[in-house]
Structure 1
Amino acid sequence: MPEIVTLTVNPAIDIATSVERLTDTHKMRCAPARIDPGGGGINVARVVHRLGGDCLAIYLAGGPVADRLGRLLSAEGLSFVALGIEGETRENFSVTELCSHREFRFVMPGPAVSEAEWQRCLGYIDALQPAPRYLVLSGSLPLGVADDFYARVIEMAKVRGSRVVLDASGPALRAALPHAPYLIKPSLNELRQLTGRALETETDCMQTAQEIVRKGHAQVVALTLGAGGAMLVTQEDIVRSGAVATSFCSTIGAGDSFVGGMVWALNRNAGVQEAFRYGMAAAAAALSHAGTELGSAAEIKQCYGEVSLA
């Protein structure tokens, strides 16, 4: 069993294209589409794999889209286990408007998942032998999955000695925090939703992240700030990094890449600050690609040298 396992409850196939200008009612002739595997944990696993890490991606999937998703992952050489469900896996769609360089993202809700299906997933994770060193829980929960699903996984994983990395939002994040995942990676908007605070200044963000750590709800908070870079907060340190200068194409997969870079480095026994640098580098490398095409190992390592911590 690989030391890094990712779980994606609501995976997708991501379709990306572009048009000169978005207009209503008229047909818009699109550029050829780029098609990639998608979903939080799947993208994390893709980054770990590109960096040479041994990783297993576990996800729930059903219908013809699931078959295509499996073929895409096989083409990348990624190890995966698809746990079958009755509902059909979703497809997401993004369009770049060339005249403005704005990106429009259309994210589908995904299939309904029955209690029997998500309970079977819990049982599969709990039976992994040996338990993974790092278990990454990333992405949205589809209709039918209990809000405390991630909380239940965290409790099972901690008993077995796994470190849990959580990238979630809304009720799923709120329910999971009292169960103390090792690391969480909220975006600024996700942290605002979680706390109900405006978080208008960097000090506000820092103090809120410190409060999460102080309460024992996570040992590490990696807060991504979009164009503003990111912030790392632990009990011992507060580290800030501005965004890495790179050519910009798409934001899709950047946050997942951040998690993938961090987890890959942590599993190699890197310190948290070094792992944070790799997270920043992987995110920057993803930004320069269309759709959910992620950065290569060479691009990530090049960006790593450009990350500045303060």
Structure 2
Amino acid sequence: MTDILTITFNPALDLTTSIGRLAPHVKLRCEGLRRDPGGGGINVARAVLRMGGQARALFPAGGSPGQRVRELLEAEGVDCLVVDSAAETREDLTVQELESGLQYRFLLPGEPLPEGAWQACLDLLEALSPAPRFLVASGSLPPGAPDDLLARVARLARRRGIDFVVDSSGPPLRLALEEGLALAKMNRRELAEISGLAEADEGALRLAANSLIGRGKLGALLLTLADKGADLFLAESAWHADAPAVELVSAVGAGDSALAAYLCASLRGESPETALGWAVAAGTAALLTPGTELCRLEDVERMRQQVQVTRLP
């Protein structure tokens, strides 16, 4: 049995390269090219494997980019459930400007996902036996998918007794929250948007997080705070973990690594606050690797020794 199943409705083939300096109106000669399988749920599954856990990745795939995503995941040892789609899997581009150290991320929209493809994903979830402990939907929805798609998954998960975890934003997240979730992972912008906040200062964010928990339809909220670490909000308590200071290589996949580490720690029987410490350690470790390579276990373990977790009032 696989304890963690991820679903990625909008997977991608991530391309990473570098250049000395970006400039307009001229040909820019890039240095090297790295290809990684991408999309939120796919990255969560990859990170779970890196930390010694077991995960399966469910996603639609189409065209040569979709085939390359499958091949790259197989090479990493990720168990996949793939729905063939007429829509070609999108590609994303990350460019590292060497002169400034800045990273530029270009997220392409991709083709509209046919109803038959996303419905086939739901049918696979419905028929899957045995059911996983956690079902993780992470990432954006592709063009053509209905806003209530994650809400439909939430209802399916509830019927099957699966803990549903969502890392998304906007209307799909809002509608899923109305159905009830075991865990939601958000960043500052996503929480501010879902709560109708004009400014995302620390105090307002924490009040908004407690308000979401207080409605009774959300078991836990993992709020990532970039270089300031993360907060965890539960019905009876709230916690903060500081992030160790590191030199940034790539921020891609840090949130997915954090979520994967939190779930792995939860499956080991760790307390929520201990799981939060592992989440921040993994998110920080992901900053040390290029492209979407994600975190490495040795870096996660080293970072965990530096993470301090405190209870919030």
With the shorter chain as reference, the TM-score category is over 0.9
1:101-250 mapped onto 2 (5 Å cutoff): 101-250=101-250
Aligned counterpart, 2:74: 74
Query: Displacement of 1:7 after TM fit?
Result: 0.4
1:139-192 superposed Cα distances (whole Å, 9 cap, x missing partner): 110011111111111111112111111100011101111111100011101112
1:64-104 superposed Cα distances (whole Å, 9 cap, x missing partner): 11111111011111111111110100110011111111111
1:252-285 superposed Cα distances (whole Å, 9 cap, x missing partner): 0001111111111112222111111111111111
Q: Which runs of no fewer than 5 residues in structure 1 stay unpaired?
A: none
Contact 1:92 1:106 in 2 (8 A): yes
State the AA in 2 paired with 1:193.
Answer: E
State the AA in 2 paired with 1:67.
Answer: Q
State the AA in 2 paired with 1:89.
Answer: T
- In structure 2, what is the Cα distance between the partners aligned to 1:217 and 1:307? 30
Moved more, 195-204 or 25-34: 195-204
Secondary structure class of the residue paired with 2:261: helix
Aligned counterpart, 2:13: 13
- In structure 2, what is the Cα distance between the partners aligned to 1:198 and 1:188? 12
- In structure 1, what is the Cα distance between the partners aligned to 2:183 and 2:282? 17
Secondary structure class of the residue paired with 2:164: strand
1:257-268 mapped onto 2 (5 Å cutoff): 257-268=257-268
Aligned counterpart, 1:37: 37
Is 2:87 aligned against 1:87? Answer: yes
- In structure 2, what is the Cα distance between the partners aligned to 1:304 and 1:296? 12
Secondary structure class of the residue paired with 1:182: strand
Query: Displacement of 1:242 after TM fit?
Result: 2.1
- In structure 2, what is the Cα distance between the partners aligned to 1:186 and 1:110? 24
Q: CA RMSD in A?
A: 1.1
Query: Displacement of 1:48 after TM fit?
Result: 0.6
State the AA in 2 paired with 1:82.
Answer: V
What is the aligned residue count? Answer: 310
Contact 1:134 1:267 in 2 (8 A): no
State the AA in 2 paired with 1:17.
Answer: T
Is 2:96 aligned against 1:96? Answer: yes
Contact 2:244 2:284 in 1 (8 A): yes
Aligned counterpart, 1:58: 58
- In structure 2, what is the Cα distance between the partners aligned to 1:243 and 1:5? 27
State the AA in 2 paired with 1:127.
Answer: A
- In structure 1, what is the Cα distance between the partners aligned to 2:201 and 2:69? 41
Query: Displacement of 1:199 after TM fit?
Result: 4.0
Contact 2:189 2:200 in 1 (8 A): no
- In structure 2, what is the Cα distance between the partners aligned to 1:244 and 1:218? 29
- In structure 2, what is the Cα distance between the partners aligned to 1:262 and 1:82? 25
- In structure 1, what is the Cα distance between the partners aligned to 2:33 and 2:84? 27
- In structure 2, what is the Cα distance between the partners aligned to 1:207 and 1:193? 14
Secondary structure class of the residue paired with 1:33: strand
TM-score by length of 1: 0.97
- In structure 1, what is the Cα distance between the partners aligned to 2:141 and 2:224? 21
TM-score by length of 2: 0.96
Secondary structure class of the residue paired with 1:60: strand
Q: Which runs of no fewer than 5 residues in structure 2 stay unpaired?
A: none
- In structure 2, what is the Cα distance between the partners aligned to 1:187 and 1:160? 29
Runs of 4+ that moved beyond 3 A = none
Secondary structure class of the residue paired with 2:129: coil
Contact 2:58 2:121 in 1 (8 A): no
What percentage of aligned pairs have identical amino acids? 41
- In structure 2, what is the Cα distance between the partners aligned to 1:299 and 1:243? 13
Query: Displacement of 1:116 after TM fit?
Result: 2.1
State the AA in 2 paired with 1:10.
Answer: N
1:286-305 mapped onto 2 (5 Å cutoff): 286-305=286-305
Contact 2:87 2:114 in 1 (8 A): no
